[in-house]
Structure 1
């Protein structure tokens, strides 16, 4: 087996890569067409100009209910000198949409006539010719151009086509795309549903994601079964696609520089490698190739890299092959909540959460890893950091491409601070009754939440900061760091905090004092989090120092991440909440019951979304859901437990 690595020798910028791709595939002489019933053609692209066969309307039609008249008989009518009209001679009754009788050219609305004896009517105002009438051809004139070639047919188009007497229409055939998932580690979803993947195995999802994305922009996909990491087998699958006359091939995985990444080898043996490596992040390892004059893409295996590579290179080409412009997302000006460094020379697609706080839309960055698909599912937008910029400054406006509607961003409650599982429950519970409200939480620790409030980049913060002097929570820190901001403190829960341990506690850990044992590996929470402050307080009480704990410097940002680390075997213990241990069926040793509060500036407390949040938190149904998680106490949930005065308290 050849274990030579595919070094990126000539990486291109995204702009250069697109230019190379479009130059190589600038025309498509083999665009095939098919004729479809118009009612089945929505979403398809016209293959030739479309001309109307009928006028619409194809007769003079009444636009109002009333009486049809020759306008000249109404001339001179006014309030002081009304006119009397005789049925059958001067007028005929007519309904909206009906054919205008011969020798009539106007309609007097029914509410503007006074009916007299013998059916006569009196009018007090004239009408002008063709008033309240839809003239023949007013909308569409027979033989006029309805749509040019390469027009995407919409539901609106459907109405015009049928009105113009078009019942069948020539359209371009869909772009046929062959998708080849590769990787010896992959497991098909159907197999994974029957038997959980083993360590080292990965559920194959990219082909299904890219298939859906391709179909949304006019593609028609066939998915090959998984191919092992073998250059011959991958080559055979590509040849199969070419023999079946597909328009495009996507090889998923194997595009990087690893010893078992065969994408570049296959493309170079069967055709030409146009580009290997693009200076963008995620998506750098993408391959652009040509085999038998057809585009072949090597798509990176990490899910976010795969999606970005598709959206930036494959999708524009699919649109281009249909004679269409790529669809552009809405852009808005946003303000990063903190300084965001970025690598010079690389264009970065930064996923962010967005929310309108005051008069500004604030952007909080999500994890930047190419393997974190949730960084896209949780994202409201994407900020593109150009390759000539080393990062973004805090509170300086930048453009963000929206992944959700502006209305959704404007109805988002931005919560920053300590993580707790009940925030996710609260977000879902709000949506039961108020589906237009979103609660978006970012986990940066309790102190991070207070600093976010101080900078004005969130509506509220979750906090559980212990004051060692009197065992109270949060008030001391609010008075110290938010002395100029009036806030209300609302209790969300009391929760059991303790040591999360592997099932059956194999190392027989009894308490925090055992963390200094040499055979115990610990996983910590990040500095500034309430859990970290609690641990340091307990260590000081017990006369222990951090250097005695193996793994004290290893940090996670959420309770669930601590629990997952313990479950994976990477740690023997971590400090976190009982609900996280219960969720993953881990052991738990209680250490303390602590107070977890929401810190809300007075300026936001009466906003409708915040009122909805507080009403929901105080509801019996929410408290029942929280209690079911285990390790929570809700006797004060939803209650305002303290209020500051601001302006130095």
Structure 2
């Protein structure tokens, strides 16, 4: 699509506003900052409820919690024979054992429920089948080759936070968790208005061809195809001729519609028939007219009826560059997910390339590997040649303050290929706590571009992750029996050369989690030594495990006296699920986990759960956003509502 040339005559009846030129062009970063900050996209889109099966790529409007556990029954993880593991104890190669099929063992396929009174599966390849019996030469332990209740998903746990773009894997998790409908943000609606006397719609060009001076209206189809990758609904309006009143009326109609974004194609330059900026000035506020980029300089950014309106340049390459720098990011902000930047490679130009000082240039290049280096060959630099994009392998940005790039100078090239999604992620490694899930959900509400990835590996492992530079934060609740202090002694011991900050997240109540009604009448740690009580423990290095060992030492109890002491889980919810499903009679964990699954709780200790942050990250936006959230009244209220927590020290910097 061509930009309009200047004309000195008017059509009959045409109102001729004064011609405008670029007086206050902005740099790309300035223009983006001005435009993006002019709108509050927090609740820009309404929400709707749709089928989970139709939710691919949609953005969640609120946190989604599981209705069901998955699996919701103990099932075989292997083909073989279900058995009560105790029947196999003592079996060795030298002392094999025969078991009766249908009485002592039961044939079972992967995924099938375990028969009553069985708790393990002997793999089919480890048996010798005889008439009515099998022979085994190796014992199995309880729950070996079994998928336990809630192994994948636990009822009530967070499946997806708000402002999360749903993936195919997410759909599987939602359905397994019993979520068949989801509330998502509506798709943003974009209206594209082509303009120009010379522009011919494709249906007319296809039927009649085009004459000299005419161009096929292709930009709207190109941009609408790009919009299809963003979840947006595109509505292409008929071509508007170069007539001021008609253009103004059409824009006004568009911004008064239910569209969330309006794009006007061409007419954005400074020619005598370029009326877009004039119409927008009368209808609303022109924020930017002219951006110091090439291609893409004649871009208009405006706000009309509290909606973003973009005057998109007419040259095809200019149209695409402007679209990618302003339309795609703003649609991402509306929906609340991170705008995907292209992957980059370090490259060397095959020849020197001069550039205009004061203009940021988007140089299209072809790429090829020569030895160990990637070499970039520049493509033609005209803004009207769409094939410089269709044939290019990448784009090199030449900064506005540079007059070009020297040959053999290494620079970055953006690849014109589908890129992996970019996650702005805060990594938390360490001890498990339910408030981390809450933090994840609440963080998405205040900053949809931040995400939390947590790994439950225990308090000590969290400190080691900080030491190795593998985490932003470590969750820890390590009690020092010699000083009576939580965490600080261990930090001094394991991180002596790494300056860190320590912030209290919560004070929480630890205790024994037992089934509703406490059928075995467990009252204290001493009851764990009873022969009729089966215990489930936390993994080595977990603060809860260290707390238990401390209590056992106080009571002069040897861990060998506790049945199930060596049976480990990596989270409080996993412990609670074991108790709920009958896999264990009791486990040590936090009150919130017991409450979530309607289990009983016997208090044992009150402890401090802290977050450890390297000082080098303390002033970063990610950490400061987390701290702002932790110190908020809303977060503290939500924590206390979970039960078993105190927030009197929440947000306090202990060091």
User: Which range, TM-score by smaller chain?
Assistant: 0.5 to 0.7
- Output the CA distance in 2 between the equivalents of 1:3 and 1:171: 45
Any idea what SS the aligned residue of 2:37 has? helix
Q: 2:185 aligns with which of 152, 158, 172?
A: 172
Q: 2:311 aligns with which of 298, 315, 324?
A: 298
Q: 1:29 aligns with which of 43, 53, 58?
A: 43
Q: CA deviation at 1:109?
A: 0.8
Q: 2:115 aligns with which of 90, 101, 108?
A: 101
- Output the CA distance in 2 between the equivalents of 1:252 and 1:397: 36
Q: Does 1:360 align with 2:373?
A: yes
Q: Does 1:14 align with 2:32?
A: no
Please identify, of 88-97 and 371-380, the stretch whose mean Cα deviation from structure 2 is larger: 88-97
- 2:584 aligns with none
**Pairwise mapping of residues 484-499 of structure 1 onto structure 2 (< 5 A)?**
none
Q: 2:65 aligns with which of 9, 33, 51?
A: 51
Q: 1:62 aligns with which of 76, 99, 103?
A: 76
- 2:220 aligns with 207
Asked if structure 2 preserves the Cα contact closer than 8 Å seen for 1:340 and 1:391, the reply is yes
- 2:19 aligns with 5
**Cα gap change, 1:22 to 1:294, in 2 (>3 Å):** same
Asked if structure 2 preserves the Cα contact closer than 8 Å seen for 1:218 and 1:319, the reply is no
- Output the CA distance in 1 between the equivalents of 2:152 and 2:220: 45
Q: Does 1:249 align with 2:262?
A: yes
- 1:385 aligns with 398
- 1:112 aligns with 126
Q: 1:74 aligns with which of 54, 74, 88?
A: 88
Deviation string 1:433-479 (CA, Å, 9 cap, x unpaired) is xxxxxxxxxxxxxxxxxxxxxxxxxxxxxxxxxxxxxxxxxxxxxxx
Asked if structure 1 preserves the Cα contact closer than 8 Å seen for 2:127 and 2:134, the reply is yes
- Output the CA distance in 1 between the equivalents of 2:271 and 2:89: 88
- 2:388 aligns with 375
Any idea what SS the aligned residue of 2:102 has? coil
Asked if structure 2 preserves the Cα contact closer than 8 Å seen for 1:177 and 1:248, the reply is yes
- Output the CA distance in 1 between the equivalents of 2:302 and 2:362: 23
Asked if structure 2 preserves the Cα contact closer than 8 Å seen for 1:3 and 1:260, the reply is no
Q: Does 1:148 align with 2:161?
A: yes
- Output the CA distance in 2 between the equivalents of 1:58 and 1:227: 60
Any idea what SS the aligned residue of 2:233 has? strand
- Output the CA distance in 2 between the equivalents of 1:300 and 1:227: 15
- Output the CA distance in 2 between the equivalents of 1:210 and 1:234: 20
- Output the CA distance in 1 between the equivalents of 2:261 and 2:419: 35
- 1:279 aligns with 292
- 2:170 aligns with 157
| Bigger RCO of structures 1 and 2 (CA < 8 A, at least 6 apart) | 2
Q: CA deviation at 1:243?
A: 2.6
Any idea what SS the aligned residue of 2:339 has? coil
Q: 1:333 aligns with which of 346, 353, 356?
A: 346
Deviation string 1:210-269 (CA, Å, 9 cap, x unpaired) is 111122112111111000011111111111112322111101101111111111101100
Q: 2:355 aligns with which of 328, 339, 342?
A: 342
Q: 1:39 aligns with which of 53, 70, 76?
A: 53
- Output the CA distance in 2 between the equivalents of 1:405 and 1:303: 20
Deviation string 1:509-561 (CA, Å, 9 cap, x unpaired) is xxxxxxxxxxxxxxxxxxxxxxxxxxxxxxxxxxxxxxxxxxxxxxxxxxxxx
- Output the CA distance in 2 between the equivalents of 1:197 and 1:330: 40
**Cα gap change, 1:72 to 1:147, in 2 (>3 Å):** same
Any idea what SS the aligned residue of 2:190 has? strand
Please identify, of 174-183 and 382-391, the stretch whose mean Cα deviation from structure 2 is larger: 382-391
Q: Does 1:228 align with 2:231?
A: no
Asked if structure 2 preserves the Cα contact closer than 8 Å seen for 1:67 and 1:108, the reply is yes
Q: Which runs of 5+ in 2 are unaligned?
A: 1-14, 421-655
Any idea what SS the aligned residue of 1:47 has? coil
- 2:283 aligns with 270
- Output the CA distance in 2 between the equivalents of 1:155 and 1:274: 39
Any idea what SS the aligned residue of 1:67 has? strand
Asked if structure 1 preserves the Cα contact closer than 8 Å seen for 2:99 and 2:135, the reply is yes
- Output the CA distance in 2 between the equivalents of 1:232 and 1:82: 95
Asked if structure 1 preserves the Cα contact closer than 8 Å seen for 2:347 and 2:374, the reply is yes
Q: CA deviation at 1:28?
A: 4.2
**Pairwise mapping of residues 187-206 of structure 1 onto structure 2 (< 5 A)?**
187-206=200-219
Any idea what SS the aligned residue of 2:114 has? coil
**Pairwise mapping of residues 501-516 of structure 1 onto structure 2 (< 5 A)?**
none
- Output the CA distance in 2 between the equivalents of 1:254 and 1:25: 24
Q: CA deviation at 1:347?
A: 1.2
- Output the CA distance in 1 between the equivalents of 2:419 and 2:254: 41
Q: CA deviation at 1:384?
A: 1.3
Please identify, of 346-355 and 299-308, the stretch whose mean Cα deviation from structure 2 is larger: 346-355
TM-score normalized by structure 1? 0.61
Please identify, of 70-79 and 371-380, the stretch whose mean Cα deviation from structure 2 is larger: 70-79
Any idea what SS the aligned residue of 1:24 has? coil
Asked if structure 1 preserves the Cα contact closer than 8 Å seen for 2:62 and 2:163, the reply is yes
How many matched pairs?
Answer: 406
**Cα gap change, 1:219 to 1:405, in 2 (>3 Å):** closer
- 1:123 aligns with 136
- Output the CA distance in 1 between the equivalents of 2:381 and 2:256: 40
TM-score normalized by structure 2? 0.61
- Output the CA distance in 2 between the equivalents of 1:395 and 1:84: 75
